[in-house]
Amino acid sequence: MSATAPIIHVVDDDASFLTAISRLLRANGFSVKTYSSAHEFLTQRDADAPGCVLADLRMPQMNGLDLQSALAQAPTPLPILFLTGHGDIPSSVRAMRGGAEDFLEKRAPKERLLDAVMRALGRDSRERMARERQRELRARFDTLTERELEVLSHVVRGRLNKQIAGDLDIHERTVKLHRTAITTKLKVQSVAELTRLTLEAGIFPEPVRTFPKG
């Protein structure tokens, strides 16, 4: 099993259904791990591995919705798909609001089930990539010095070199040196790209003003 192969985590207190669905998923080429309770899944899962969760809605102790909210708070969340013997409207509404990928009956057609699994895996891989990129960006920004960050915050707000020098009470040439260091470290070609990356990395919590005052 390669590190990048996604794993489908199936959580159900019904052992018989657990076996059956894992057979089907394996026959369709997926890697499957089964858990008989939500608690077992939360303590045993490999946090880094990609994949998705298929959970029964009705389980003793911790039910599917509880599992959903516990998973949402984890550093590496996984998309969740709900399965139910017989669904009722209130719990399906709650599940979808909580960000569930889908809400399926246990006897749902195979195609719907596999589609939903594929969708969940796709979403996981997208979210995983986004998280990866953000982490990489953060690493790049981490190489900047305090002063360079300070200059950057002014640059992305569209301030001119002369204005920045005035604001920080330094020489205009020093500002230019800082900007060159920033673009070199962040490997960007233009101010526009610099601004986009800064926003994407979420470096400055406060909204960045791109137009000068007045």
Partner 1 sequence: MSLITIIWCMSASASLTLAGINFMVWYQNRKSWANLLFALSATGTAAWALCELWMMRARTPSEFATVLKWGHVAVWLLIVSLVGFVRLYLNAGRPWLAWTVCGLRTLLLVPNFLVGQNLNYLEITRFEHMRFLGESVVIVEGVTNPWILLGQLNLVILIIFVVDATLTTWRRGDRHHALTVGGSIVFFLSVSSSQSLLVFYRIIRTPYVATVSFMGLVAVMSYELSRDMIHVLELGRKLQESEAGLREVEERMRLAVEGANFGIWIRDLVRNEIWATDKWRALFGFAKAERLELGQVFQRLHPDDREAFRSVLEKAAEGDGSYEAEFRVVLPSGEMRWIGSRGRVEFDGDGKQILARGVSHDITGRKEAEQETQNLRREIAHAGRVSMMGQLASALAHEINQPLGAILRNAEAAELFMQNKSPDLDEIRAILADIRKDDQRAGSVIDRMRGLLKRQNLDKRSVDVAELVGEAAVLVHSDATARHIRLELAVADHLPPVIGDAVHLQQVLLNLIINGMDALNGANGRDRRVSVTAALDGPKTIEIAVNDSGRGVPADQLTHIFDPFFTTKPNGMGMGLPISRTIINAHNGRLWAENRNEGGASFRFTLPIAEKDART
- For partner 1, the binding residues in 10-39 under the rule CB under 8 A are 14, 16-17, 19-21, 23-24, 26-28
Nearer to partner 1 by Cβ, of 86 and 187: the residue is 86
Q: Smallest gap, in angstroms, from Cβ of residue 39 to partner 1?
A: 21
The interface region with partner 1, picked from 80-88, 129-137, 146-154, 200-208 by CB under 8 A, is 80-88
CA 65 – CA 91 distance, rounded (Å): 8
Q: What is the CA radius of gyration of the chain?
A: 24
Contacts of residue 96, Cβ cutoff 8 Å, sequence gap at least 6: 103
Nearer to partner 1 by Cβ, of 20 and 74: the residue is 20
By the rule CB under 8 A, 94 interacts with partner 1: no
For the beta sheet containing 7-11, the strands, ordered from the edge strand earlier in sequence to the opposite edge, are 31-35, 7-11, 51-56, 80-84, 102-105
CA 209 – CA 214 distance, rounded (Å): 12
By the rule CB under 8 A, 210 interacts with partner 1: no
DSSP strand E in the chain: where? 7-11, 31-35, 51-56, 80-84, 102-105
Position among 40, 69, 72, 85 found at the interface with partner 1 (CB under 8 A): 85
Which residues in this chain contact partner 1 in the complex, by CB under 8 A?
14, 16-17, 19-21, 23-24, 26-28, 58, 83-86, 88, 105-107, 110
